[in-house]
């Protein structure tokens, strides 16, 4: 009986070892990546144009329930802090195109600038594996925080105060 248990553990260990071999997550970004964003009109802009400003990047999707919950909160923070230089950018990860995002925004207004992801963009941020994923950058472009999932307004407020310094 003990021999069977040991063989089972060895077998599981070998499976785990080989399943992770060669699987490496993209390197996490610590500074604002040099990427392009696609506007809802199809133009491309460089993320670097927001350098020197405290920045929140929020990756979201139209099908994401927690993202829908977070949007009104981000709208409130945009209204409260945009005059202090805070920039909030929404980046849709939807693969179904700009029309879907535009229709969604008719139902759920987004008051801060929103863009579409570009090819390979998520890898430049170290991978976006779940939604919403939000990055906070200070005025120097240094990543201060990365959060996955919905957080409370108090948590966002704390991070905003850190990047406004």
Residue 40 is part of which domain span? 29-164
What percent helix, strand, coil does the chain show, rounded to 5?
40, 20, 40
Answer whether residue 54 is part of any domain.
Answer: yes
The answer to the question of residue 18 being in a domain is no
Quote the number of domains for the chain.
1
β-strands 55-60, 143-148 pairing: unpaired
Each residue's pLDDT, cut to its tens digit, for the chain (165 residues) gives 776 554 444 444 444 433 333 333 344 558 999 999 999 999 999 999 999 999 999 999 999 999 999 999 999 999 999 999 999 999 999 999 899 999 999 999 999 999 999 988 888 788 888 999 999 999 999 999 999 999 999 999 999 999 998
| Residue 148 domain flag | yes
> Is 20 part of a structural domain of the chain?
no
In degrees, to the nearest 5, what angle opens at C-alpha 28 toward C-alphas 95 and 97? 10
CATH number of the CATH domain containing 118: 3.40.30.10
In a domain, 11, yes or no: no
Instruction: Establish if 2 belongs to a structural domain.
Output: no
Phi, psi of 5 (to 5 degrees): -65, -45
Q: Is residue 63 part of a domain?
A: yes
Rounded to two decimals, the pTM is 0.81
135 belongs to a structural domain? yes
């Amino acid at each position: 009986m003990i021999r069977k248990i040991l063989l089972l553990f060895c077998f599981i260990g070998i499976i785990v070892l080989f399943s992770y071999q060669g699987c490496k997550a993209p390197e996490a970004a610590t500074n604002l990546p040099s990427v392009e964003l696609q506007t809802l009109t199809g133009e491309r802009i460089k993320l670097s144009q927001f350098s020197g400003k405290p920045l929140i990047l929020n990756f979201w999707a139209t099908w994401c329930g927690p993202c829908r919950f977070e949007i009104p909160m981000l709208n409130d923070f945009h209204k409260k802090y945009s005059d202090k230089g805070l920039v909030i950018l929404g980046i849709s990860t939807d693969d179904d195109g700009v029309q879907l995002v535009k229709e969604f925004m008719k139902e759920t207004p987004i008051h801060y600038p929103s863009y579409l992801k570009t090819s390979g963009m998520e890898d430049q941020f170290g991978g976006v594996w779940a939604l919403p994923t939000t990055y906070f950058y200070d005025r120097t472009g240094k990543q201060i925080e990365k959060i996955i999932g919905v957080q409370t307004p108090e948590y966002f407020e704390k991070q905003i105060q850190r990047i406004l310094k």
